[in-house]
A and B are shown apart, each in its own frame.
Chain A
Amino acid sequence: MRRLAGEAVAGALMTLPAGIAYLLLLLLPTLATVLLAFTDYELGAPALGWIGLDNFREMLADRGFGVSVRNTVVYVGLVTPVSILGGLGLALLVEAGVKGRAFFRAVFFLPVVSLTVAMAAAWQYLLHPTIGPVNAALRAMGVGTPFWLSSSDTVLLSLAAIGVWESIGFNMVLFMAGLTAIPRELYAAAEVDGARGGFDRFRLVTWPLLGPTTLFVLTISMIRSLRVFDTVAVLTQGGPNKASEVLLFTMYQQGFTYLRLGYSAAITLVFLAVVLALMWVQTRVLDKRVHYA
Chain B
Amino acid sequence: MALITRRATLALGTMALAAPRIGRAQAPVSITVHYAQPFIYKESYDAIAAAFAKREPNIQVEFVTTPNYEEGMQLILRQQAAGRMPDLTYQGFNRLRLFAERGIAQDLMPMLTAEGDPAALGYAPNLLALSHFGGFQAGLAFAASNPVCFYNADLVRRAGGDPDRMPTDWDGHIALSRRIEALGDGTEGMFYRWMGDDWMFSALLFGHGGRMLTEDERDIGFAGREGLESLRLIDRMVKEGGMPNLTTDAAQQAFAAGKLGMMYWTTAVLRGAIQQVGRNFELRTGPMPIIDAEKGRLPTGGAAGMLTAKDPAKREAAWRFLRFSTSPEGTALMARNTGYIPMNQIAIDDPRWLGEFYRDNPLYTTAVKQVPISIPWYAFPGANSVRVTQVIVDNTARIVEQRATPEQVLPEMAAEVRRLLPRRGT
Contacts and interface: CB of A to CB of B under 8 A. Distances in A.
Contact of B384 (A147, A240, A258): A258
A203 interface: no
Contacts of B247: 149-150, 235-236, 239
A128 B403 CA distance: 22
Closest 10 CB pairs of A and B: A44-B77, A241-B397, A240-B397, A241-B394, A43-B77, A130-B254, A130-B186, A147-B245, A130-B259, A150-B247
Given A129-B246, A256-B74, A240 B401 contact: yes
Contacts of B70: 256-257
A258 B386 CA distance: 6
A143 interface: no
Nearest to B385: A258
Contacts of A241: 394-395, 397-398, 401, 403
Contacts of A139: 186
B80 A240 contact: no
Interface string A245-263: 0000000010011111000
Nearest to A148: B250
30 contacts: A43-B74, A43-B81, A44-B77, A44-B78, A44-B98, A45-B383, A128-B250, A128-B253, A129-B246, A129-B250, A130-B246, A130-B250, A130-B254, A130-B257, A130-B259, A131-B257, A145-B186, A147-B244, A147-B245, A147-B246, A150-B250, A239-B247, A239-B393, A241-B397, A241-B401, A241-B403, A242-B394, A258-B386, A259-B74, A259-B77
A152 interface: yes
Contacts of B246: 129-130, 147, 150
A149 B259 CA distance: 18
B387 interface: yes
Interface string A196-218: 00000000000000000000000
A42 interface: yes
A130 B387 contact: no
B386 A240 contact: no
B249 interface: yes
B30 to A, nearest CB: 25
Interface of A: 42-46, 124-125, 128-131, 135-136, 139, 145, 147, 149-152, 235-237, 239-242, 253, 256-260
B400 A240 contact: yes
B96 to A, nearest CB: 14
Contacts of A152: 397, 401, 403
B78 A257 contact: no
A64 B81 CA distance: 29
User: For chain B, which range describes its interface: under 10, 10 to 19, 20 to 34, or 35 or more residues?
Assistant: 35 or more
B398 to A, nearest CB: 6
A140 to B, nearest CB: 11
Main secondary structure of the interface of A (DSSP, over half): loop
A131 B77 contact: no
A88 B250 CA distance: 35
A240 B81 contact: no
A129 B102 CA distance: 43
B195 A239 contact: yes
B306 interface: no
A110 B383 CA distance: 44
B260 interface: yes
Contacts of A129: 244, 246, 250, 254
Interface in B80-112: 80-81, 98, 102-104
Nearest to A149: B247
Interface in B209-244: 244
A128 B254 contact: yes
Contacts of A242: 394
Contacts of B384: 258
Nearest to B81: A44
Contact of B80 (A44, A125, A136): A44
A44 B98 CA distance: 10
A152 B394 CA distance: 12
A131 to B, nearest CB: 5
Nearest to B394: A241
A215 to B, nearest CB: 38
A151 B401 contact: yes
A124 B249 contact: yes
